[in-house]
Structure formats: C-alpha cells, structure tokens
Amino acid sequence: MKPAQKSAISYVVKNQEFEQYCQHDGLRNVLCSYAMQVSTPKWLGYATLHSIPCIVDAVTAHSEDLDWSNIDDFNDI
C-alpha cells in the first residue's frame, strides 16, 4: 500500500464529469491501470488511511505472517 499519486493531467485539463466520478486518486490509479495494462495484479485496489488516498498494488510473500490488527497509522506502514 502506498499513497496514490495525483494525476499530472488533472492540473491542466478540467473535466467536471470525470472529477465527480474519480474523487479518490486511488480509484483513478486503479482504473487507469486496468485501462493501460493487459495483466493487472490480483489484489489491485485502493483505500484511504487518515484521509490520504492510497493504492494497494501487490501482496508480498511474507504478508500472511504479518499482524495487521494494530496498524492504524500511515507511518506504521
């Protein structure tokens, strides 16, 4: 999981309809990934952590051993 990047194009091109649909930068990243790549990661998704839009990109081999229950701060990640 990492912070989602704001689109560089969004600073120049303004489209109200698209901005209403993609208010979450993580969602925009996911949709663009599906549109541009033939194969996308199985666990591709997005989330918000303390009002910071994030993208979930892959599951690592060691993820099953991690205890995620007490991770509640962005810095913990």
Give 53-74 pLDDT, tens digit per residue.
988 887 656 555 566 677 777 7
Amino acid (one-letter) located at 46:
Y
**Residue 66: its pLDDT value, please?**
63
The CA distances from residue 1 to 11, 20, 30, 34, in Å, are 24, 24, 12, 17
Domain locations along the chain: 2-71
Q: Are 28 and 7 a contacting pair, CB within 8 Å?
A: yes
Give 16-38 pLDDT, tens digit per residue.
877 777 778 888 888 888 888 77
Q: Are 50 and 74 a contacting pair, CB within 8 Å?
A: yes
Order of strands across the sheet with 2-3? 2-3, 52-56, 45-49
Structure token digits, residue 27: 């969602």
